[in-house]
Amino acid sequence: MKLLFSPTSPYVRKCLVVAHELGLNGRLQLQASNAHPINRDREIIQSNPLGKVPTFFTDDGQVLYDSRVICEYLDTLAGGSLFPRSGPARWEALTLQSLGDGMLDAALLARYEDAARPEAIRWPEWRAGQLDKIETSVQHLQARPALLAGRVDIGAITVGCALWYADLRFADFGWRARCPAVAAWYAGFSQRPSMAASWAL
């Protein structure tokens, strides 16, 4: 199994955390890539025309993307329980994954505004709108502590990766002071070996 990798992609990190939780990380070969929204990586595009990471190759040669598909594949392969198989528990976990992915999408757009777009053509209201998506999401979790308490599944992992990325890119965002219950949850969850691991090539 092979994963096209970038050390700072939060979606790649989701897949690596899932693989680690499932005991599959030793079987995963990481391959460097240079995904970029403007200078698009033509090598990725040969397999995944969106030119994004993570892109994943099964041992049978099937190409899978994006992170949601890869994570569910890994869970199925390992016979794991990170994706509840049916019923309300499945929809709750998948919706929590959507929440975490939405936080990540917003953080990445704010990051492109800060770091990729030339300074003269940045739009503060756009950046503020994206960061506000993260803010209202963390507030939502703060008001519903039962959503995360004791949970180790694709929903919790995705939210954990979103908070990891928010800290990486927006260190002064200051969400912990406003959402202490989420901060307490993350302080524990981020100690899991899967979350604390670091990956490099």
Binding site for its own copies (CB under 8 A): 37-38, 40, 45, 49-52, 58, 60, 62-66, 68-69, 72-73, 76, 86, 88, 91-92, 94-95, 98-99, 101-103, 105-106, 109, 112, 116-118, 120-123, 125-126, 128-130, 132-133, 136-137, 139-140
Closest approach of its own copies to the CB of residue 184, in Å: 19
Hey, which bits of 24-154 come out as E strands?
29-32, 55-57, 63-64
Closest approach of its own copies to the CB of residue 77, in Å: 10
Give whichever of 125 and 172 is closer to its own copies, judged by the CB atom: 125
Distance CA 82, CA 93 (A): 9
The SS3 of residue 50 is: coil
**Tokens matching residue 30:** 């990481």
Instruction: Centre a 10 Å sphere on the Cβ of residue 149 and count the other Cβ atoms it contains.
Output: 10
Closest approach of its own copies to the CB of residue 164, in Å: 18
Edge-first strand listing for the sheet containing 2-5: 29-32, 2-5, 55-57, 63-64
Give whichever of 73 and 189 is closer to its own copies, judged by the CB atom: 73
